[in-house]
Amino acid sequence: MISIYKIFFGVIFGSFFLIFAATRLLSPFEIVSASPEKNTEFSSIFIENSNDSKLLCSISSLYPLEIQQWCGLIVKNATTYSLDPNLIAAVMLQESGGNKDAYSSSGAVGLMQIMPKDGVAANFDCINGPCFSNRPTMEELFNPEFNIEYGSRMLINLYEKYGNWRDALKAYGPMDFGYQYADIVLSIFKNYQ
């Protein structure tokens, strides 16, 4: 009888431990609430696009070196698309952690984890055919300069389409994450200021 109780309590304790560990691993960042309405708290995401050719590294020093190393390309594209460089850095941190060779199991490629038209992503079919047929190739997306530029352009286009960052980031992220992805990126953006 004693061994049955030990097994029972061991299973219960082990289950609680696994659930606790899984929740800690799956939510490394504090998720903040953000409404789909335009929020003035994040109005600083846009910066003035000036003609000044000298670009200083203006991303927060709180970002790890894996992100800081891409500062020049981040600032260049932030200036081109009137984005806050910290927003681009937040997406990059969430997507690849600054690893230019990142390749996800779903087929997303590079620093900004963009789905290409070839590779694993070529097998994703939508109503009108392959979902990503109008996207760049994997080879193009493994180029950091091209990847950051393409991802930055996607971000501003999604913002212009949806009118707010929460919906734009939801559309940028994985289809099955919903607003969780957007909230994580907005939390990174806020916490790394």
**Residues 6 or more apart from 165 whose CB is under 8 A from it?**
34, 39, 42, 45, 87, 159, 182, 186
Cα–Cα distance between 122 and 176 in angstroms, integer? 18
Query: Which residue type occupies 83?
Result: L
Cα–Cα distance between 169 and 167 in angstroms, integer? 5
**Residues 6 or more apart from 48 whose CB is under 8 A from it?**
82
Q: What are the distances in angstroms from CA 97 to CA 53, 102, 174?
A: 28, 9, 16
Active centre residues (catalytic): 95
Strand partners, 114: 109
| CA of residue 159 relative to chain centroid, distance | 14
